[in-house]
Amino acid sequence: MCGRFILVAKAKDLAQHFGIPLEEAIEMCQADEVARLNVAPTQNVLFVRNEQGERHLAQGRWGLVPSWTKALDQNRLTFNARLETAARLPTFRSAWRQRRCIVPATGFWEWQDVGTKKKLKHKVSPTSGPFLAMAGLWDSWTNPSDGEVLESTTILTTDAAGAIRQIHHRMPVLLATSDWDAWLNPEFDDPAGLPSLRAESHVDELRTEPAEPPPPASDRPRQGTFWD
């Protein structure tokens, strides 16, 4: 899964890397840079989407609210969508077809089971380049009581690969630059066929490091007990 991520970047670097207007990045970041070390579900996040054939930066609630929802359910867990099922589940399938996006990050946090009721926090970051391009979906919901529009997003996850698999059984879906345009294009009808959606294609692009000291050796499980 992906339940916490990091975005620390200058607006100009964000604009240049993702091909979005600089003034838009500055406006969305509300400054020349953004420094968010622990982005959590239900908070506002930035995402890149296609608007009339061009990339633009938007922001919305992390936790997708489908357009057909009658009332906002704060307890609904929609901050992640499984790559394997998103195309057919009612909550995500419309967004999968027409409203795909990229959620920029400079890293994410993951927790490894290392004993009874104990988890070891890890930081995962790119080995080269400043950003991760996490595959996402977005939607727009209008509150029937007051007409207020809420935009929201979710991050796709897939089976973990490489070193990530030793920490957690799921990881965010990452997109190679060569697949961005196709992924964002609502007229592209085979997003599941994009090569970079396979986790194995990114195993050399990520590094992991414990974010806190590990527990004593006697508290650690035997090798393999945290595999799912």
**pTM for the predicted model, two decimal places:** 0.90
Task: Name the average pLDDT for the chain.
Answer: 88
Highest mean pLDDT among 28-32, 154-158, 213-217: 154-158
Tens of pLDDT along 41-58?
999 999 999 999 999 999
Highest mean pLDDT among 65-74, 96-105, 195-204: 96-105
Is 2 a known active-site residue? yes
Q: What is the average per-residue pLDDT within 150-171?
A: 93
The active-site residue, picked from 29, 101, 110, 151, is: 110
Q: What is the average per-residue pLDDT within 90-107?
A: 97
Tens of pLDDT along 118-132?
888 999 999 988 999
120-149 burial, b at 16+ Cβ within 10 Å, e below that, comes to bebbbbbeeeebbbbbbbbbebeeeeeeee
Tens of pLDDT along 76-96?
789 999 999 999 999 999 999
Is 110 a known active-site residue? yes
The active-site residue, picked from 2, 29, 101, 151, is: 2
> CB-based contacts of 153: which residues, under 8 Å, 6+ apart?
45, 47, 60, 61, 62, 64, 101, 103, 136, 137, 138, 139
**pLDDT higher at 169 or 73:** 169
| HEC letters along 25-41 | HHHHHCCCEEEEEEECC
Min mean pLDDT across 133-142, 153-162, 219-228 is at: 219-228
